Amino acid sequence: NFPHLFVKTMMISLPSFPAAFVRGGGGSREIVLRSSETDVGFVSSSSRVPLSSRCRLSLVCLRRRGEGERGSAPSLLRRRRGRITSFAVNAGTTPKSTTFDANDRYARTANPFYEANCERYVEKILVKVDENVVMKMKKNSEDGVLSRNDGSATTVAANGALPGGGDGGGDNTTPLKEERWEKIHLSTEDERTKGSMDVSVVKLSDAAFRVKVKLDCPSILNEQDALMHWGMIGQEDEDWKSPKHFVRSVPPNGREPDAQSEESKFLNGRDCFEHVFEFTNGYRGERMAMLIRSEDCETWLRDEGRRSHAILDFGRMAVDARGGGSQQRVAAAPAPNPVAPPPPPQRQEEDHHHRHREEDNNSHEQQQQQHNHNHNQQQSTNSNNGERVFAAVSNWVGDDVELSNNRKDRSSRDRNRWDTSNLPSFAAALVSNDQSASSWRQKLQSVEKLLCENDGNDMEDALAYSTIYLFWISVGAISCVEDGTHYRPNHHAGSAERMFGKIESIEGTDNMSTLAAIRRLHPRLPAFTAEFTQSVPLTRIRDIAHGKGDEHGKCREVRQEIKHTIQNKLHRCAGPEDLVASEKMLQKLTAPGTDYPKAFVDEFEIFYRELKEFFNASGVAERLEKLANQDGGSKSADAANAFLRAKANADYQNASLKSLLETLRLLHESRTEIVRSLESGNIQDMSARQQWRLAEISLEDYAFVLLSRCSNLLGAESEPPKQNYTSEEVSECLNALAVSFDTLHLSSKSEEMQRVAEDARKLAGESASFLGSNDGGLRVNAIAERAKRAAENFCDVLENLFTNRAHQLGPALGIDNYVVDIFTEGQIRASVVFQSAKLAGALSRASRNITGAQGWDCVVQSSEGDIVYPLRRVERLDPNYCRENITEPCILLCDSADGDEEVSTMGPNVMGIILSHALPHLSHLALRARQSAVPLVAVEDGALTETIRSFEGKNVLLRSKPGDVKIELTDAPVSGGASSSAPAVSTASATASTAATISIAADTSYANDPLSFAKLSESTLDFAVSVAGSKSAFCAKLEKLSSDSHSSPFAFSAPTGVAIPFGAMEVAAEEAGKTQYLQERLQILDSNVPEVDLEAARRELFALVENELRPSQEVYQKVLAGMGASANSKAFVRSSANVEDLAGMSAAGLYDSIPNVDLQSYDQFALAVSKVWASLYTARAVASRKAARVSQKDAKMCALVQVALKPECSFVLHTKHPLTESDQDMYAEMALGLGETLASGNVRGTPWRFDIAKATKEVTVKTFSSFGEMYIADDSNSDSSALQMKRVFCDDGNHWLTTDEKRRNDVVGAKLGGLGIYLESTLGNVPQDVEGCLLSDGTLCVVQARPQP
């Protein structure tokens, strides 16, 4: 049937085929491999095929001549990859079996499938490499016999059993024992999808195991293919490691999604997997960890029993195929000494779902082996088993790049499509241009035009889309094909040069998103140094194709492949596929057992290094060495050389943590010098600037590798997570964290990252005794919290920059969904921020071990003890969503809260709240939850959060007590019904309630007469409350108390102010002719009308008050008079409603306060007052009053004008401990800047928390501040700064509240504690909620005191 044959070398695994049989007649025999009734390969008697030691056999695959060439039909033959394993030769009558040496020619190859002339190939394989090891087929038995030239024979049994167990350890042919199958039940995390798999493990030799898996999961298999996502783990740990470090081969039908795992497809109807695992250094107890996923990555199955990845324990599960009569446990050999650097960073199950590395060539830098450059050898990248790693081939997701000895048609772009509908302008232009730009040159020029002609509008958009687009081109997701023209690579280089100039013009920005896009765009541009901009660049490949180095003509065949696949293609239409082709050719030239002339291989190695330079794919050492040699004597060159010397030591497997940290330090110094030279203009030549910039970026990529190794040595990636750290390890972890944030700061220009680095380094220098103390542990935790938060913020930047844009651009170009989905995650996980987060997590665990903390925090304790309800996850605490969708009692797991939510409006079914981040205990949200008797727990550890998320939909026990928090699954019955504290009427559309509406009186007779604090304090408290609200009344009283306290031990200050009484807003409405309009909408708010009508009335009311009602000039002048000399100062205009600061209804933070008001501007003053009035009608405020059954028309607002203070730090003090409810202890929280940092909860982090004993004023630190940011008034005097606060960075770690214990005890204990006791006794002997601040001169100021809720 095939008179004219071409051949491809294949590696085929026998178990991949249902049938393996013998055919032929006369004196010849063929072993035929059959799959799906199609003969796909054979070993013929006409071919003498050398075999390797128990591992591989080269076969030939048939195809018709011309198939796969231009214009021909697709091949009818199924191409398979695989390997024959455990093959031995039976010596027949000889007692011993003979195996083949792995050094035999053609014994082992990692080459892809190369086409060759059939006759030449047969000539090659007929070459007798070893006189004793040449095999020939003979007709000897029914099963098929392989014979040696010495007459000895071996049999391949019909059932697939191998002679002597396949390892030369036996003399007789032993049929395979009956397989033993073990079932593993599978489910997704939410248990909505379930399945199972049956697993069989057979031991073929001491180092080889055959694994079969049969998958049963109709919910996946009925719709799409399934894949096995797997890696290797040790005997005790569960850190995934790359299988390629342990086994000789992996299933050939898969891919390598990350540095720790493989993905293999299920075959035979999409439900079967089979492979023989042969351990390179012998089996030493390794286990196989796996997850099963759907092809679209939407469904991930794990071991249902373990609630984690499934584990195949070869030693426990294997049946020994070599006999013995019973199942035998496979013993593991002693572990060998490591021979190569550890694999890149490990990650647990959740981190194996989607993983992609942007710069694999840099991720393997730690494994580079130095070659002698005098012999023109480039630096190679090697895997742990010594095999060379080729990054371009590893990362390639495009069409297969084949080496060919004739020109192939490379014009197909079937994998892509072009749909510009619903795309933003830049993305639409990019897609439209791509349709007409078939080659890489045309695509580069298209991006160049769009970038360089951009006038600055939406530059971030342009940079982000360009980065994504060029990245997908570089890995083959977007096809580049020949365009029919002949343009040498210098045209590509010219386009890159112009783009680089444009990028540099905006690189001075401090915008983190823009910088992130730029840094990821630089490596996607080709180099434009002189050797690539000359008219005929990269000429070495022409000399190689013409025979340079091939003195005896042994390379004629590969030279033809080089000429047609690389040289001609590169010089007429270069593209990233040329780098892939060159790597494949280098694989072929350097494969074990080959004997290509060294001079020829060396020449190709040099060309490959040059080509990598053109594609900017060189490793950090290659790039730095070249630049340092070119620029010798400069500070940048000296710093680079210092780093390279340290790197040489750090690259050893057993490099110490100290050595790694020193290398990181020198790496940062080298980067710093490069950045300084680039920014100062010392490097003038633009091509040199590009190369130094890429060197600096490569250094950052290599920092990832070093930090990964540090993390491993520090146990940051161990499973279970390491908890017990010595003080020395804590110090080393802090140093590693510091250098990781140095690295991030240099790339992002983030001030917070710089401060984290400085604070971590300073804390690392503390004594071992301090780091092991409680205060030391708390300081470590504060740094860890800030680091995690900074890392999360940077990840958010990358998410916002790339995710939506990738999901817009990918489908428009026909990019595979998986490639689109993992793009952003690849950027994150390839970033130093990924390692920083792991180090921060390790420090959090170390801190908890030192302090005894739990990793979660009781913010509001449960008044009913343990509660049991189903867990429901929500993104935010949205009252409307909760009321409408939560119809059964449950515990909410909330991803994020801003600290200002109103718990009472959530409806009757919110029985408890678990918040996925830290929250001040005295924030508005915490106070409202406490008032509503809803227990609230803040989870401060990401791993705990993930565990709790897995409980969604199941009954959870929640215990919320100070120092005793428990969240766990339970079979206990649900606790009772809806919350007794919930309102009887929770929605406006509910049927009429029989509950009476509460009416609250207010005296509006002083509406046009603003009252100074002096006047209010002269009257009775009841009068002041009736005309201006309790807040104004108590503020006036505080001012009087402060003036009386100057000579007492409890001296404090209180700002002066003026109250604009109740009724002033109604007067303004009357003057504007809007009284009836106002009253009608208030009436609607108190009515039982549909929700949509209520919301419409509320919106109209809010807009009326904020936009149209203003206090009169008369009122304004009276306020100025009442403020006296303070009228020239900035002011706060605060709310003082008759429906806040009441017993049982604090309404903390429900109404607005307006900062930074210039009292010399009537417009600012009037607008601020209107905003305070309007806050009476926000959705939260209206819902809160409705929940409390307070009439909307009775709600009145007084605007309280007070002198603005400029605090060093603010505090909230409760004179009765809110968590323990002890009246013998007080509790204080403090933060730098304005009190908004504490009260709102908008700034992530924890404040300084102190317990203060009333009797002794003794201070116990509960936490140190980890905010890193604070609110201050915006004093920039711009139009936009009026009435505004702004967030700025703050240095909590070096503030005296953190570093000076004596001063802290004096201020917090003696002064603040004493003041709390004084105010409690003076204001009715009831516990007080006191808000105030500490000025820079040490003055304590109190701005508010009210009964503690």
Report, as residue numbers or ranges, the catalytic residues: 924
CB 1301 within 8 A of CB 1158: no
Q: Are strands 936-939 and 856-860 parallel, antiparallel or unpaired?
A: antiparallel
Cα gap 1026→1023, rounded to integer Å: 5
Residues 6+ apart with CB under 8 A from 63: 5, 6, 8, 75, 76, 77
Q: Could you tell me which residues are beta bridge partners of residue 212? A: 200, 274
The region that residue 1334 occupies, defined by phi over 0 for left and psi between -120 and 50 for alpha, beta otherwise, is beta
Residues 6+ apart with CB under 8 A from 28: 44, 45, 46, 137, 139
HSE of 784, CA atoms in CB hemisphere, 13 A: 27
C-alpha distance from residue 794 to each of 599, 697, 750, 798 (Å):
49, 17, 9, 6
Helix or strand or coil: residue 888?
A: coil
Q: Environment class of residue 461 by beta-carbon count within 10 Å: exposed (0-12), middle (13-18) or buried (19+)?
A: middle
* Alpha helix segments (H runs only) across 111-168: 118-126
CB 1231 within 8 A of CB 1246: no
CB 443 within 8 A of CB 494: no
HSE of 262, CA atoms in CB hemisphere, 13 A: 19
Structure token digits, residue 1045:
């306290």
1196-1225 burial, b at 16+ Cβ within 10 Å, e below that, comes to bbbbbbbbbbebbbbbbbbbbbbbeeeeeb
Helix or strand or coil: residue 1089?
A: coil
The one-letter amino acid code at 199 reads: V
HSE of 896, CA atoms in CB hemisphere, 13 A: 5
Residue written as tokens 């301090």? 770
Name which of 970, 1030, 1229, 1008 is nearest 1114 in CA terms: 1008
Name which of 648, 639, 646, 698 is nearest 672 in CA terms: 639
Structure token digits, residue 380:
């190679």
Q: Environment class of residue 455 by beta-carbon count within 10 Å: exposed (0-12), middle (13-18) or buried (19+)?
A: exposed
CB 1025 within 8 A of CB 1311: no
Residue written as tokens 């010399």? 1160
Name which of 1321, 1055, 1324, 1315 is nearest 1211 in CA terms: 1315
Residues 6+ apart with CB under 8 A from 1018: none
The H or E element that residue 302 is part of is strand 300-303
Helix or strand or coil: residue 1095?
A: helix
Count of beta carbons in the 10 Å neighbourhood of residue 127 = 11
Name which of 281, 361, 243, 280 is nearest 108 in CA terms: 280
Vertex 897: Cα angle to 794 and 775 (nearest 5): 70
Cα gap 516→523, rounded to integer Å: 12
